[in-house]
Structure 1
Amino acid sequence: MFHWCTDEVEPHDRFDFWREVRSKGLFGVTAELERERRADFFGEFSLRQLGGAGLVELKASHYTVERSTADIARAPGDAICVYQQLGDGGWFGGLRGGDFAITNGSFATSHTDLPYRTAPLGTAGFHLRILKIPVSGLSTQDKRIRELAPKTFNDHALAPLLGACFAGLGETAADDGGSDAASLVQALAHLALIERGIVRPGSRLGQAALRTARLSLARRLIARHLQNQGLAPAMVADLIGVSVRHLHMLFETTEKSFSQTVTDERLKQSRRLMREAPERLIADIATSCGFESLATYYRVFNAAYGMAPGDFRAQPSETG
């Protein structure tokens, strides 16, 4: 991962460096800020290469950005971008379809080589993730992809799927999960193309994207509801909006079934809690992780790790 922050540059040079080296050189855009406000400018970003795409997370104080025809000619991208807005919101303008705002938690998509202008809506500045996926790496080469002017997602049913895929990408980056990252990148790309009417949901590509995204969402819902002893396939299937049979089919493509995944996540959580809170009672940890009884927890833990929870806790943390 590449990370950079304006703290690495002298205060009077920070915005100029951000504008000339980072914005123009790395992102192919023109950045502008009133001269009297430049001394207080702050910006940072990280860049990861995942599954054939680039994932950027950017935070910066308020300034304006333009991707002009000159910028495009100088630094063509030929990629689609999927944006996840994390801050106060943003404004996009200079578009054929008119200006629009993207609110916190929302998503948008575009092709890199169409002009636009953008600025934060709030005083806090920019905070967003951008997944940049080369068109050459997509499974479909529909010519309409290069006509995707910036636009928000209007299908609200896709939002939790997109959020789960973005979160999953962050986790695979930490775990170096190359194949998982590639499938999540393709899923995000094709969900964007479903939204824009280029890929049909019922097509092979559409179904594959929805399966990957729903599986990612199911895993996140499991992690979120571990403490609930009523965590069951019917509950998760209802939250996702699929049948129980479809949920089980999603897990058939993985190494572990739904119930095995739940148990594994509960055991991992219990191990973390024993390390982080050594004074906490094991019975309390078992309950907080959703095990129905202490006896069940001991039986499952011993089957998985060949030792009792207390013996695990007694080990030095380096060997745990």
Structure 2
Amino acid sequence: MAMAQDGLVLPRLTSFSTRSCPRGDEVDYWRQARREAYVAVRTDPVGSAFGGEIRLGQYADFRLSTKRARPEKVRRSASDIAQGREDEEYLYLLFQLSGNLLVEQAGRRTLATPGSLVIYDSALPFSLSAKEYYEQVVLELPADKAFSLAGMSRSDDLLARTFDCGGAMGAVAAFFVNLAQRQDGDRLGAHRLEPQATALGTSLIGLTAPGQCGMPESLRRAEALAYMRVHLADPDLDADGIAAGLHVSRRTLFRLFEGTGESAMGRLRSLRLERARVMLRTQPGKQVSTIALETGFSSSVQFYRAFRAVAGMTPGEYREAGITEGPAAPVIPGLET
């Protein structure tokens, strides 16, 4: 922690970047950086080159960081845990900003996708795998204290599950994303937000925890949306497949979307069209037919019809409009609907 002139204890900020180490030492440097910023893990690059950056803010009751890295595989085994020198056990809440990250823990595996939240625990073996460049905000909370403040018994029920950041959870996610991205430029402001950040971090545990007096329908719907996003490219994905993936009945799935203005399958189509919209504007070299397949439409004809019905123009016309009007406004993870 650092002291301001008026005696306030400001958050301590530390930066790690492989660009600051000798060429060829990037992986060893990154392992040490991860150990200092989080907990000891074994990491290996995927591909011929590796690079990463961590910007870490250390507060009295939590740590908050932005992390960017090229493809890597990360593992923390039981022996790593036994040999670790950490004073406490931590929960890591990952707010995914870009790229996908496969998280495996407690017998489950899930995909952290842009706009989602995934949690893992340093006290249990885990693995993280990214096949592409990714960026995320990481909130670290002392595990026992977080569960205690949330009024819950510690368990692994919420680990390695993907939560869609919508509703109340989206507001909390947006708070931490914005704080992490601005803390190094305004440490005094970050310090003044510290009490609220501690309370909001604890609230996230309660929002994501299944089985606490029954999971609210809003959270079940968030899980359904997250599942749709992960499997969005599958043209065969239907209500039966979504319900099976969530371990609920078709009727329960349909009920989750009652009163939202869209059916479950209507929401899936909207998610596909939204991803297609972003791809059309941000990947101008990609063929429209390829975008159709990558967003789960069974044919280009089906894609054209669905897109025109919603946008009032063809995908090609929408892309051309983007060239003259400028790119579409970026989606802020945690704030999209």
User: Could you state the TM-score of these two structures normalised by the residue count of structure 2?
Assistant: 0.51
Task: Give the match for residue 203 of structure 2.
Answer: 190
Match of 2:325 in 1: none
Identity %: 19
User: Which has more radius of gyration?
Assistant: 1
**Superposition map of 1:185-224 within 5 A:** 185-197=198-210
1:60 and 2:72 aligned: no
The offset of 1:7, in angstroms, is: 1.4
Q: Which letter maps to 1:192?
A: I
Retained in 2: the 8 A contact 1:51–1:179?
Answer: no
- Asked if 2 retains the 8 angstrom alpha-carbon contact of 1:81 and 1:111, the reply is yes
Partner of 1:49: 58
Is 1:74 the counterpart of 2:83? The answer is yes
Matches within 5 A, 1:74-113: 74-75=83-84, 76=86, 77-96=88-107, 98-113=108-123
Deviations 1:11-36 (A, max 9, x none): 111112222x22345432111236x7
Distance of aligned partners of 1:65 and 1:88 in 2 relative to their CA distance in 1, 3 Å threshold: same
Q: Name structure 2 gaps, 5 residues minimum.
A: 1-12, 215-259, 261-337
Q: 1:94 to 1:164 in 2, by over 3 A?
A: closer
Q: How does 1:248-287 map to 2 (within 5 A)?
A: none
Determine if contact 1:44/1:58 at 8 Å carries over to the other structure.
yes
Does the 8 A contact of 1:86 with 1:127 survive in 2?
Answer: yes
Cα gap change, 1:141 to 1:69, in 2 (>3 Å): farther
* Counterpart selection for 2:171 from 143, 155, 161: 161
**Does structure 1 conserve the Cα–Cα contact (< 8 Å) formed by 2:118 and 2:163?**
yes
Kindly indicate whether residue 22 of structure 2 is the aligned counterpart of residue 10 of structure 1.
yes
Matched, 1:31 2:43: yes
Distance in structure 1 (CA, Å) of the matches to 2:126 and 2:98: 20
Counterpart-to-counterpart distance in 2, 1:49 and 1:24? 15
The answer on 1:180 being equivalent to 2:188 is no
Give the RMSD, CA atoms, in angstroms: 3.0
Count of residue correspondences: 196
AA aligned to 2:203 is H
Contact 2:73/2:127 (8 A) holds in 1: yes
Matches within 5 A, 1:97-176: 98-121=108-131, 123=132, 125-135=133-143, 137-138=145-146, 139-140=149-150, 142-145=152-155, 148-153=158-163, 156-170=166-180, 171=182, 174-176=186-188
Q: Which amino acid aligns with 2:173?
A: G
Q: 1:131 to 1:109 in 2, by over 3 A?
A: same
**Which digits, 9 at most, give the CA deviation of each residue in 1:178-202, with x for residues without a partner?**
342222232123223321137669x
Q: Contact 2:93 / 2:120 at 8 angstroms: preserved in 1?
A: yes
Structure (1 or 2) with the greater helix fraction: 1
Structure 1 contact 63–120 (Cα < 8 Å) conserved: yes
Using CA pairs under 8 Å that are at least 6 residues apart, name the structure with larger relative contact order, 1 or 2.
Answer: 2
Q: Secondary structure at the match of 2:111?
A: strand
CA distance in 1, matches of 2:168, 2:76: 27
How far 1:160 sits from its partner (Å)? 2.0
Q: Evaluate the alpha carbon distance shift between residue 46 and residue 176 of structure 1 in structure 2; reply closer, same or farther with a 3 A threshold.
A: same
- Unaligned residue ranges in structure 1 (runs of 5+): 202-240, 242-320
The answer to whether the 8 Å contact 1:61/1:126 transfers is: yes
Q: Assess if the C-alpha contact under 8 Å between 1:88 and 1:104 holds in 2.
A: yes
Cα distance in 1, alignment partners of residues 82 and 157 from structure 2: 16
